[in-house]
Amino acid sequence: MKFIDEVKITLASGRGGQGCVSYRRESLMPRGGPDGGDGGKGGDVIIRTSRHINSLVDLRQNKKYSAQSGQMGSGRQKSGQNGEDLVLIVPEGTIIRNMDGEIIVDMTGIKEHVMLKGGRGGKGNEFFKSSVNQAPDYAQPGEDGEEIDVKLELKLIADVGIIGFPNAGKSTLISRISAAKPKIADYPFTTLTPNLGVVKAGDYSSFVVADIPGLVKGAHSGVGLGIQFLKHIERTRLFIHLVDASGLSGRDPMQDFEDINNELKMYDQTNKDKEGFFPLSTRPQFVVLNKVDTLSEDQLVKLKNNFKKITDKEPMAISAVTGKNIKELVTELSRMILQTEEEVK
Ligand SMILES: Nc1nc2c(ncn2[C@@H]2O[C@H](COP(=O)(O)OP(=O)(O)OP(=O)(O)O)[C@@H](O)[C@H]2O)c(=O)[nH]1
Ligand SMILES: [Mg+2]
């Protein structure tokens, strides 16, 4: 069961700029004194946390992240520009380890951490001028930056939980919208333990979806795999209620929907006294009809209307197999997550 997002990267701070060797040259002063400026400082590597990202997926784009080097000093005592810092934004709670697995820093509750200092800039020859050496012809090189291989890890907390009957296509859906590769098969209870997947919803945002084993009527009293897995999605902001619209199971999609909601109510009943428990039956649900590739247009319209009558909102119709409306689903989910974020604030 992989509940940890992990990425290995190399970080490098910037090298200091070289000091400059230079002499004043002015018309009345053919052999002026030394005026070589100092090199600029190399950029630091800074780790900063943000509440707005919740996975390490964006850091997978590169293997190495480097801060800028400082620039060389120049004549007339001009210092070189400092290299720009490299700021890596990570989710709160990211743990950074070295390759031996030792924790370098745990970013829980920390806003910013300077991971690597940039190298100092070298002194220019003006600095070395003294009474015994009025025209030093040397300057310092810049100090090297630092480099380190690190492993970032983050305990994933799911934003969205997928609930539904066995065989509804929950695992197929998560494999469509994330890099998760759960087992998919045409029989109930294929998924025995939850799967998590990180869904990219744009250039800078992502969210985490959990696929849990299917529920059946009577799950609260131990039928099927029972309701034990619901605890994994207790903290999600919303649920995708995935309904098998095909009717191939021999069951009725509307009845399935009601049965699952009843199980949520039973779960709430059992857990209502637990400290910090948030009821599941009142969690926002996004009703999604899956396998609509097996329905005619008429059948689909009818089914959608029936759902609309009991939920007040038209369900989204997708096919996890053909990909129909999958992009729209991801867009709508990220919109809904943002909305719940606003409500929390
Ligand atoms: N025709 C059609 N078949 C689908 C669709 N989505 C999933 N399936 C099929 O339905 C079967 C069950 O899919 P899974 O993704 O394993 O279902 P699940 O909800 O994860 O099932 P459990 O893990 O047993 O709870 C597989 O044979 C899938 O290929 C769809 O959109 N259209
Ligand atoms: Mg499954």
Please report, for residues 93, 161, 287, 330, 337, the alpha-carbon distance to residue 209 in angstroms, rounded to integers and kept in the order given: 18, 6, 15, 11, 11
pLDDT of residue 30: 65
pLDDT at 2: 46
Q: Return the closest-CA partner of residue 266 out of 218, 311, 229, 216.
A: 218
With CA atoms as reference, report the closest residue to 157 among 288, 51, 296, 309: 51
For residue 192, the model assigns a pLDDT of 84
Question: Which pLDDT band holds residue 345 (cuts at 50, 70, 90)?
Answer: low
Using CA atoms, how far residue 53 sits from 66, 67, 207, 252, 270, in Å, is: 21, 22, 8, 39, 33
Summarize the confidence of residues 318-333 as an average pLDDT. Answer: 96
Query: How far apart are the CA of 305 and the centre of ligand 1, in A?
Result: 24
User: What is the C-alpha to C-alpha distance for residues 87 and 211, in angstroms, rounded to an integer?
Assistant: 33
Min mean pLDDT across 65-79, 110-124, 231-245 is at 231-245
**What is the distance in A from the centroid of ligand 2 to the CA of 53?**
27
d(CA 92, ligand 2 centre) in Å = 30
At residue 48, does pLDDT exceed 60? yes
Q: Which pLDDT score is estimated for 244?
A: 97
Tell me, in angstroms, the distance from the centre of ligand 2 to residue 103's CA.
Answer: 35
Enter the pTM of the model: 0.71
Residue 213 CA: nearest ligand 1 atom is: 25
Q: Whose CA is nearest to atom 25 of ligand 1?
A: 166
Q: pLDDT-derived band of residue 1, with 50, 70 and 90 as boundaries? A: very low
Ligand 1 pocket test, pick from 172, 209, 263 with the greatest ligand atom count within 8 Å of Cβ, gives 172
Lining residues, ligand 1, CB within 6 Å: 164, 166-172, 184-186, 188-191, 213-214, 290-291, 293-294, 319-321
> Rounded to the nearest whole angstrom, what is the distance from the C-alpha of residue 337 to the centroid of ligand 2?
23
Give 16's pLDDT tier (boundaries 50, 70, 90): very high
Q: How many Cα atoms are found within 13 Å in the side-chain-facing hemisphere of 297?
A: 0
Which domains does the chain show, CATH number per domain? Answer: 4-155 (2.70.210.12), 160-344 (3.40.50.300)
Nearest to 221 by CA among 279, 283, 267: 267
CB 105 within 8 A of CB 96: yes
Chain length of the chain = 345
Paired residues of 243 in beta bridges: 289
Q: Which amino acid, one-letter code, is at 233?
A: I
Which one of 184, 233, 289 would you pick to mutate in the ligand 1 pocket, going by the greatest count of ligand atoms within 8 A of its CB?
A: 184
Query: Over the stretch 252-300, which tens digit does the pLDDT of each residue have?
Result: 999 999 999 999 999 999 988 888 788 999 999 999 999 999 999 999 9
At 204 the pLDDT is: 63
Closest atom of ligand 1 relative to the 324 alpha carbon:
31
279/316 Cα distance (integer angstroms): 24
Across 165-177, average pLDDT: 95
- Average pLDDT on 212-221 reads 88
Q: What is the pLDDT of residue 5?
A: 79
Q: What is the mean pLDDT of residues 47-75?
A: 90
Tokens of 99: 């390759």
User: Does the pLDDT at position 28 exceed 80?
Assistant: no
